[in-house]
A and B are shown apart, each in its own frame.
Chain A
Amino acid sequence: MSDDLNAVITWVESPPAARDGPLAGRRFLVKDLIDTAGVRTTYGSRIYADHVPERSAPAVRRLVDAGAIVVGKASLPEFAWNVTGQNPWYGTVRNPVRPGRTTGGSSSGSAAALAAGLCDLALGTDTGCSIRLPSACCDVVGLKPRWGSLPMEGIFPLCPTLDTVGPMATTVEHVALAWSALSGRAAPEPRLAGLSVGLLSRPPSVGDGNRAEASSAAEVWAAELEKLGAHVCPAQVPEPEANTWPLFFHEALESHEKTFPSRAEEYSDNVRTKLALAQRVAAEDVEAAYGALAAWRRHEPEVDLYVAPVLQLRFRPRTATSSRCESHSPPGCAG
């Protein structure tokens, strides 16, 4: 099988028969950062171009046990360290919903394949945006779970303190079904009535002093949320007390200690440059970042949930009754 979108790095030539279960027969695409037994897993890199794991990641096993069929490995940027669908070794993933625009990343192949109907279910990872950004760019649905909620074993790390793995599909219902299989917990009943929803007009910075401008982007959903029984109110989230970037670079460098700098020439310029930058992060800045993060993670929200945009762009609002956004190219989303 092939695809015109370059969404898949490796197809499984003869997928096994489906097991019985809540996901029986669902065609399942695994981000190529996640180990699959007997199926090439490149991590989007040249270094691991011929790597075939002996064991599947627990997240993959749980979905297969629920009946999903692994049909292939979805493309991603090298080591999932980019926010676009560009990969120097395996090519750029094309966006089937907004031709000529980026798919977003790093779960780029997963989102594009779902949008094009090449699979029914996908598994992505999210360290800073990587499930949600491509979900927005390709008009699909993706869950970044709470950190620590789902097992990360068998997944190449980027920054373990931030890394998460989560399901992607074309509907919330299918994402919830997959989450149930992944977590072993029952999918929740639909509920918005009676909940307080904080409308974020400005995201908190990550402690680096760079804070986005205020935006009314989330207001397009407020009326619909109110109609469904939620109480929508303005909200803010406090900021961390120190720059948190140093911990990201510190852990990313650790994640690559087996191959960087010893095999530096086999990395792309992009990732090699980032790793070289990571080598210059000061230990005291890393320590301050961990302290700020620990304090921030103790914050208790003043509302039940928040609503915010993924991208601060002019998307047409998705209504409660439509299954997907009308196509409307986001100008700032150009790849």
Chain B
Amino acid sequence: MRIPLTAWLRWVNLIGWAALAIGNMQLIAPRDETVLAAGLAWERGA
């Protein structure tokens, strides 16, 4: 099976939302602040 490298990525640009990649994990939401807040919590284990 051939999986496009961008299958999980390109749609986010089209819908226009924000996405934060932490290594291979991608957090996606309409606003920058939401993904950053979640990413900070993830990183700090808060």
| A residues lining the B interface (CB < 8 Å) | 83, 104, 126-129, 131-133, 135-136, 139-149, 162, 164, 171-173, 175-176, 179, 183, 185, 187-193, 195, 197, 200, 203-206, 210, 212-213, 218, 221, 224-225, 228, 230, 237, 240, 244, 293, 296-297, 299, 301, 304-313, 315, 318, 320-321, 324-325, 332
Contact = CB atoms under 8 A, between A and B. Distances in A.
A228 B26 CA distance: 16
B41 A305 contact: no
A128 B23 contact: no
Given A132-B26, A221-B25, 16 more contacts: A127-B13, A128-B6, A128-B10, A133-B5, A139-B23, A143-B36, A175-B36, A188-B36, A190-B43, A190-B44, A200-B28, A218-B25, A305-B38, A307-B28, A309-B24, A311-B8
A224 to B, nearest CB: 8
A305 B29 contact: yes
Interface residues of B, number: 45
B26 A212 contact: no
A305 B35 contact: yes
Given A146-B32, A203-B7, A203-B11, A190 B41 contact: yes
A320 B23 contact: no
Given A190-B40, A306-B29, A240 B14 contact: yes
A191 B34 CA distance: 8
Nearest to A238: B15
Contact of A142 (B21, B37, B46): B21
B11 to A, nearest CB: 5
A115 B12 CA distance: 25
A190 B15 CA distance: 25
B43 to A, nearest CB: 4
Closest 4 CB pairs of A and B: A190-B40, A305-B29, A132-B21, A129-B9
Contacts of B26: 132, 307-310
A172 B43 contact: yes
B28 A308 contact: yes
Contacts of A164: 13
A236 to B, nearest CB: 12
19 contacts: A128-B13, A136-B21, A144-B13, A146-B18, A173-B44, A183-B32, A190-B40, A192-B42, A200-B28, A203-B7, A212-B7, A221-B25, A305-B29, A305-B38, A306-B28, A310-B23, A310-B24, A318-B22, A321-B45
Given A144-B18, A228-B46, A315 B40 contact: no
A8 to B, nearest CB: 22
Contact of A145 (B15, B32, B39): B32
Given A213-B3, A305-B29, A311-B24, A299 B44 contact: no
B20 A175 contact: yes
B6 A83 contact: yes
